[in-house]
Amino acid sequence: MRGPHNILRLIRTGATLERTGAMGVVMEAMDAPPQVRAIMRFLAWPFQWLGYRGNPDMPPATRALSALGPAYIKFGQILSTRPDLVGDELAMQLRVLQDKLPPFPVDVAKRSVEEQLGKPVEDVFDEFSPPVAAASIAQVHKARLRETGEAVAIKVLRPGIEKAFRTDIDAFYFAARMIEVLSPASRRLRPTDVIAHFEGVVMGELDLRLEASSASEFAANTNGDEGFKLPAIKWPLSGRQVMTMGWADGAPLGDNAALDAAGHDRVALGERVLQLFLSHALRDGYFHADMHQGNLKVAPTGEIIAYDFGIMGHIDEYTRKVYAEILYGFIKRDYRRVAEVHFEAGYVPPDRDVNEFARALRAVGEPIFGMDATQISMGSLLSYLFEVTERFGMETRTELILLQRTMVVVEGVARSLSPQINIWQVARPVVEDYIRKNIGPRAVVHDLQKTLAVLARYGPRLPGIVENALIRQSMPLEPPRAPNRLSPAIWAVGGAGLGGAAVLVALLLG
């Protein structure tokens, strides 16, 4: 139920941050102004007794987010990929949230597997290990198939995870609505729609059959991508709460020491991660939307292995072209064209000045060129970009939320591998290739072919459609009907019904 009782949940959030010591750590990492820090501490301190204690062996921020539950853990996972925003130390601490959370007992996992497969674990697997990774929604066990001896990974949902997510999402809805009421200016950001989008994404993660289907589609799209592969799904051994796939051998992409020891080129890996994401988003319109280090490995052969397909993003062809033109405009430093694309797509209200918007975008883009990542303050850049969107009345585009969020995560992953990486230089060949193939004369011919193909399907029906339209147009108007003698009685009964309904409503409203 989405009601005022969620105030307690939100108060408990602040209280947990204060009780665990995470409030100061987060404020320090985000470089919050002294006034903001003082206000937050003042509001949270009286209620800290309501906060969760968490695991005292964990660092403060990790301790607080893991205690608050899965939705907050998801937020921490995103921050863990952004050392440029929260600092190297906090990012490293939060990386634990990706796949090193406290596991649930192996016996509970085996019971879930048996319920899903309808047979004892021993009949299917020769080995079934303790948890090798535990994240916010599920944990993974390594097993060996009795029939073939193949090593597999078994993903099992956490018990009660859906109820836990519902609790957090209800509180987020309440917070979004309060923000909209108390701050009318924030409505352009559509906070309620953003939470609805988050809810849809998360609830999709809670059915592993959908994840298996996503993995299958993603594998078909990326089959020819050099230096990239996916584990194969074992459909007969998968269900709503359990998913089985091939085992991925390799070094975790978040372990730079292991990558260096294995002789992998981290600069090349960082560039490849970013280019693969852009290629999947632009070429296919279907991309892995949870590409943090915990979901990526590097095989001994140097291939990047992706897994955990619970969150996948989809963007239509028109939006892909808009996104590509915006990226290409920034790469070419053609801010006028970037501004025009925003207006053409309806992202900016038409009554705003396109030239002024172009100048504002120049102030966002220019600091990036000629600098490496160590010289760019992403916090300052994002802060200014937010000011620009507010000044020009840009609304949040819910269809782009997942794309934008994933871009932030992937950029963070690339920079954790190569701190000096320049995302615009790396993105340029992928975006230029997409522009060349999909925007211009060749694209016009392709679009015409698609239009003709649609018309061809309707070809056999066109004569009938035209004939029916002409017949309707030539038919005389229907003469007015004679008054119905029963109409007074009908009106009387109808009026009584409406009157009775009105009485019932009045009684209900008391």
As annotated, the active-site residues are 290
- What's the burial of 466, exposed, middle or buried (CB within 10 Å: 0-12/13-18/19+)? exposed
C-alpha 65 chain-centroid distance? 19
Tokens representing residue 171 in the block: 């509180």
Query: CA 369 to CA 36: how far, in whole Å?
Result: 32
* 177 beta partners: none
Q: Give, to the nearest 10 degrees, the angle between helix 6-19 and helix 60-68.
A: 160
SS (H, E, C) 238-302: CCCCEEEEECCCCEECCCHHHHHHCCCCHHHHHHHHHHHHHHHHHHHCEEECCCCHHHEEECCCC
| Upper half-sphere CA count for residue 467 (Cβ side, 13 Å) | 5
Tokens representing residue 153 in the block: 């990974």
List the Cα angle 232/235/237 in 5-degree steps. 105
CB 312 within 8 A of CB 287: yes
Tokens representing residue 439 in the block: 């925007």
Query: At a CB cut-off of 8 Å and minimum separation 6, what does 95 contact?
Result: 80, 254, 293, 294
Q: Which candidate, 305, 307, 301, 231, places its Cα nearest to that of 262?
A: 301
Query: CA 237 to CA 247: how far, in whole Å?
Result: 14
Query: CA 68 to CA 13: how far, in whole Å?
Result: 7
CA-derived radius of gyration, the chain: 28
Query: At a CB cut-off of 8 Å and minimum separation 6, what does 498 contact?
Result: none
CA distances to 261, 282, 443, 447 from 438, in Å: 41, 10, 5, 9
H or E segment and range at residue 54? none
